[in-house]
Amino acid sequence: MEITYPVNLDSCWMLCYSAKDKAVRALKENFIEGVDYQPLAQNGERTRGGQNKIDYYLSVSCLEYFIARKVRPVFDVYREVFHKTAEMLPKVSKSSAADKRRIAALEKELERTREALRWTRIIERQEVELKCSCFHYLVKTKQYDKWEEYRRTGIIKR
């Protein structure tokens, strides 16, 4: 989603003008409202003169021309930085999407591993219970006759 008027005039007028009112006057004289810029009244906020405060938001092309008309060196630096950033954004978003896919795959793998571990513990517990039941059956039916060997192994306390 692209924002049509991303730049607030308050953040850039001082690059080219000595006062904001001069910047606003130049904006209104040289650019088209609704195409190059959008004024937005701030409800409840007033300027020192008691008028409603208005924020002006510029399109990127308007900002470029607005700066280029007054201060060429500032515009050159801005343009270089802006275009380097614009070139990198698709790469960053692609790597971000790839990272998200990788994270999702790792989360699925982690969940499968947790489930396998849970089943392993259940099986181990059942195996121990089965061995205990078998041993108990052998002892109860007097089929187990190696008590001395059993005591020597340290399993049973004397």
94-150 pLDDT, tens per residue? Answer: 667 777 888 888 889 888 988 988 998 899 889 888 888 887 888 788 777 776 776
Same domain, 77 and 16: no
**Of 26, 46, 70, the domain-final residue:** 70
Same domain, 7 and 52: yes
Count CA atoms closer than 13 A to 136's CA, side-chain side: 6
**Domain-embedded: residue 154:** no
Same domain, 48 and 81: no
State how far the Cα of 33 lies from the Cα of 67, in Å rounded to an integer.
17
**Of 49, 70, 91, the domain-final residue:** 70
Dihedral of alpha carbons 38, 39, 41, 42, sign: positive
**Domain-embedded: residue 155:** no
DSSP lists the bridge partners of residue 39 as 56
Q: State the DSSP code for 153.
A: T
Residues 6+ apart with CB under 8 A from 10: 20, 55
Answer whether 0.75 is exceeded by the pTM.
no
Same domain, 88 and 134: yes
CB 23, CB 13: distance < 8 Å: yes
Same domain, 7 and 65: yes
22-77 pLDDT, tens per residue? Answer: 989 989 998 899 998 999 877 655 555 556 788 899 988 888 887 776 766 766 77
Give the residue numbers spanning the domain of 40. Answer: 1-70
